[in-house]
């Protein structure tokens, strides 16, 4: 069974955090902060006002995508979520 995202919510913030609340097909869920992960020509624009909040769940591939073509694999997001939880513990 391949991992995919079943639910996505952009968490509003007043600072430079870029938060997504995710539910994965394996039952794991949580909030992931992408602020330190968004780099380069595709992800850089997501720091412009309002652009990050345009995140959607791709209907076929079931991963996070943005209108500018940026996307993130569910495996990467789950690994990041687990690492961030480990740092908070």
Q: Please state the domain count of the chain.
A: 1
- Would you state the pLDDT for residue 21? 98
Entry pTM: 0.90
Q: What is the pLDDT of residue 19?
A: 96
CATH of the domain at 74: 3.30.2020.10
For position 87, what pLDDT does the model report? 62
CA atoms of 59 and 12, how far apart (whole Å): 23
- For residue 15, what are the domain limits? 5-88
Neighbouring residues of 63: CB distance < 8 A, sequence distance ≥ 6: 4, 5, 57, 71, 72, 73, 74, 77
pLDDT values of the chain reduced to their tens digit, one per residue, 89 residues? 799 999 999 999 888 889 999 999 999 999 999 999 999 999 999 988 889 999 999 999 999 999 999 999 999 999 999 999 986 54
């Amino acid at each position: 069974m391949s991992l995919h995202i079943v639910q996505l919510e952009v968490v509003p913030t007043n600072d430079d955090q870029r938060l997504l609340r995710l539910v994965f097909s394996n039952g794991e869920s949580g909030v992931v902060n992408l602020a330190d992960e968004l780099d380069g020509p595709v992800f850089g624009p997501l720091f412009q006002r309002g652009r990050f909040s345009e995140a959607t769940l791709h209907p076929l591939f079931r991963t996070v995508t943005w209108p500018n073509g940026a996307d993130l694999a569910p495996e990467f997001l789950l690994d990041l979520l687990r690492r961030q939880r480990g740092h908070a513990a």
